[in-house]
Each structure stands twice: as structure tokens, then as C-alpha cells.
Structure 1
Amino acid sequence: MNNLISIVEIPTTSFARAVRFYQSVLAVDIQEIDMQGTQMGLFPGGADTVNVALVNGTDYKPSDQGTLVYFNGGEDLQAILDKIEVNGGKVLVPKTLIDAKNGFYAMFTDSEGNRIGLHAYK
């Protein structure tokens, strides 16, 4: 087992809006599928990675109070933060130094109201 976590599902109210938000903010392609009546938007991933999906179904409710997922912010998470608000999200914690060894973090709410974190070493 390479990762303790296998899959992360991010709830949506408006599936199309959430897909646009994450494609714009993270500059990724999201594959849209229907899984037994639940809309899913699959982020790029693979067998040895943690797989992330946007989900829209009757049992999924966005929240800013539940489990917090941190996305890898790449070389400089400020480039991602600059796209948050223009795409319908809100920056909650700006780029903040953790310490010299652990890098930086930030937090935002996405277009659906979910609280999401970012992490980068630079």
C-alpha cells in the first residue's frame, strides 16, 4: 500500500460550475462520468496515486466544516491562489509560511463552498 488514502470525493451543488472552477484554477482536465446516477468528475491520477473526484448526487453536500483536503500547489501556490476568486471561490488563508522545512500553505473555499487547502515547498 503506497497511500493510506485511496479516493477523495469533493461534493458539488452545481457539477458543471465545479468542473469549470477546478479546470480553471488547477489547469487540469477533468473526465466527466456517470456512476450509477451520480455525476463524477475525475481529476488526473493513476493506480499509485490518491484519486480525486468531484461528485454530484443526492447524498453529497458541500461543506466548509468537514474533512480538509490539501492539493499540491506545485512550484508556487500563489499562481493557484490568484485564480481562486476570479473563478468563484474565496481565499480564506493567503500563502503562509509554515517553516523553512515544510514550506507554505493556504486555504480557500471552492465554487461550491467546500474548504480546500493548498501546500507547496516554495
Structure 2
Amino acid sequence: METHNFRNLKVWQLSVDFVTAIYQLTTLFPNDEKFGLSSQIKRSVVSIPSNIAEGSGRGSNKEFARFLSISLASSYELETQLIVADRLNFLAETIVQEIIRKLHEIQKMIFSLHKKFESQISS
């Protein structure tokens, strides 16, 4: 049984930093969105590093890969919510584009790590 130290994973570190950035951005949303889209965005973004961490402690590469998949799905959910926020003009389009660019970097890292563990499972 192998465990992984999530704190050493660059993708976890970047996604925790990303949580902070997203939380700061949601303060720009209208007050009536506090329990709406803003809340949903916060849940999605926190889910990304949380699932990486949880998966790392599950004790098998198969379980870790499963939680990486959940983390990736949360990132896609977040991307959709950011697009909705953009269409509702809660944020400037240039800000949303930059945030989504950073999110795509995190998605690529999660996908690569997931692929690595999936290939180890099949070997």
C-alpha cells in the first residue's frame, strides 16, 4: 500500500493558491449572489485540492486516481460556473479569461497525474 504526500504535489500547491484567488474574486459578486453562484463557486474550487489530498491518503494508486478524477470533474464544474459569472457580467471578461487560463493549467496537471496513476494500475 502506497501513500502520497499531497503537500509535495505542485498541483495541490497551485490549486490551494487558486482557492485563495477565487475567494477574493467572489467578493466582487453582487451581494444577492452570496448564497447563489458565489457559494457554488467556492464549493467547487475547494473541492479541487481537497480531493487531491483525500485521494493521496487512500493508500492505493487506484483510489488516488479515482479522487484525481473527482478533482478534475470539480474543475470542469468550476469552469462552467466562471463562464456563467462572465455571462452575467459579475467579472470583467479579461479577468475571467485569465482565471480560466490558470484553471486550464491546473486541469492539465491533474490530468497528467491521473494518467500516470492509471498507467501504473494497468501495468
Please give the TM-score of this superposition, normalised by the length of structure 2. 0.33
Bigger share in helix? 2
Bigger share in strand? 1
Please give the TM-score of this superposition, normalised by the length of structure 1. 0.33
Q: Which has the larger radius of gyration?
A: 2
